């Protein structure tokens, strides 16, 4: 009887220890997901600022050269493709984190 009680206590202790490990792993995964999501938001904002800066520079340069429309259109195209590429990469990363 004493051995049975001892075994049950050991099993209960092992289950509690495993539960602690599981909670820590879940907390680590949640913290990682939060950090990645924060980085994604920062990346999106950075991409928007960079695109706006390129468009403004192209507009100013185009106005100085007398070729403003084509330079702005080129900058817009590059910005759209650049943002689309970054958003696709961010979406893939978000999906990987969610899984």
Compute the C-alpha angle 66/72/75, nearest 5°. Answer: 135
Residue 84 reports pLDDT greater than 70: yes
Q: Which residues contact 98 (CB under 8 A, 6 or more apart)?
A: 33
Most confident of 12-16, 62-66, 72-76: 12-16
Once rounded to an integer, what is the mean pLDDT over residues 37-42? 71
Once rounded to an integer, what is the mean pLDDT over residues 7-12? 90
Give me the chain's average pLDDT, please. 75
Query: What is the count of structural domains for the chain?
Result: 1
65 is in which domain, residue-wise? 2-98
Q: List, for residues 56-71, the tens digit of each pLDDT value.
A: 777 777 666 666 566 6
Share of the chain above pLDDT 90, in %: 2
């Amino acid at each position: 009887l004493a051995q049975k009680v001892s075994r049950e206590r050991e099993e209960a202790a092992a289950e509690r220890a495993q539960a602690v490990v599981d909670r820590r792993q879940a907390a680590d995964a949640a913290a990682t997901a939060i950090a990645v999501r924060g980085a994604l938001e920062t990346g999106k904002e950075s991409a928007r600022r960079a695109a706006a800066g390129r468009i403004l520079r192209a507009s100013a340069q185009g106005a100085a050269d007398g070729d403003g429309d084509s330079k702005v259109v080129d900058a817009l195209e590059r910005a759209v493709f650049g943002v689309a590429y970054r958003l696709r990469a961010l979406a893939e990363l978000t999906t990987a984190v969610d899984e």
